[in-house]
Amino acid sequence: MGDNATRKVAIQPTDLRASAGIAKSLGEELGPPVQNAVNTSETVSGQLAGWSIAGGLSQLGTGWSKPLGDLHQRLADTAANLNANATAHEHKDRAIAGAWAVAPQGGK
C-alpha cells in the first residue's frame, strides 16, 4: 500500500478488495467448526447429566458461543468496510481523473 521510493501512501482498491475477500473467507470458514464445537459440548453435557463435568461442558459451549459469534460478525463487517473503502477510492480516482480531463475554458 505504500510507495517506498517516495514515502507516500498509495491506496490500491484491488488490495483492499483482496483483504476483504480474506476477511470474508475467514469468517465463513470459522462458522461451521464453531457451531460444531458448541453443539458437541451441549450434546455431551446433556449425555453426562448428573456428572460433575456436565455443567462445565455446558458453560464451555455457551461461554464461547457469543465471543466467537462476535468475531464472525467483526470479520464480516471488516470485509464490508474494506469493499466500501475500495469503492470510495475508485469513485474518487474517477472524479479526479474526470476533473483533469475537462477542456480548459476560454481560448487563446
Q: Which pLDDT tens digit goes with each residue over 63-103?
A: 988 999 999 999 999 999 999 999 999 999 899 888 877 66
Q: What is the distance between the alpha carbons of residues 79 and 18, in angstroms, rounded to a whole number?
A: 9
Domain span at 53: 33-83
Number of structural domains (the chain) is 1
5-9, 27-31, 104-108: range with lowest mean pLDDT: 104-108
Q: Cα–chain-centroid distance for residue 10?
A: 21
In this structure, is residue 101 part of a structural domain?
no
In this structure, is residue 44 part of a structural domain?
yes
In this structure, is residue 79 part of a structural domain?
yes
Between the alpha carbon of residue 68 and those of residues 30, 50, 78, 90, 107, the distances in Å are 8, 28, 15, 33, 65
In this structure, is residue 105 part of a structural domain?
no
The pTM (predicted TM-score) of the whole model is 0.73
In this structure, is residue 39 part of a structural domain?
yes
In this structure, is residue 49 part of a structural domain?
yes
The whole-number pLDDT of residue 104 equals 65
In this structure, is residue 91 part of a structural domain?
no
